Amino acid sequence: MSSDALISALYVFALAAFLGYQVISRVPPLLHTPLMSATNAISGISLVGSIVTAGARYNTVSTILGFIAVVCSTTNVVGGFVITDRMLKMFKRKEIAKKE
Interacting residues with other proteins between 8 and 37 (CB under 8 A): 9, 12-13, 16-17, 19-21, 23-37
CB 14, min distance to other proteins, A:
9
98 binds other proteins (CB under 8 A): yes
Least Å distance, CB 4 to other proteins, is 11
Residue 48 binds other proteins (CB under 8 A): yes
Closest distance between other proteins and the C-beta of residue 11, in Å? Answer: 10
| Residues between 55 and 74 with contacts to other proteins, criterion CB under 8 A | 55-59, 61-63, 65-74
The Cα–Cα gap between 53 and 43 comes to 17
Q: What is the Cα–Cα distance from 32 to 89, expressed in whole angstroms?
A: 15
Distance CA 57, CA 52 (A): 9
Q: Would you count residue 4 as binding other proteins (CB under 8 A)?
A: no
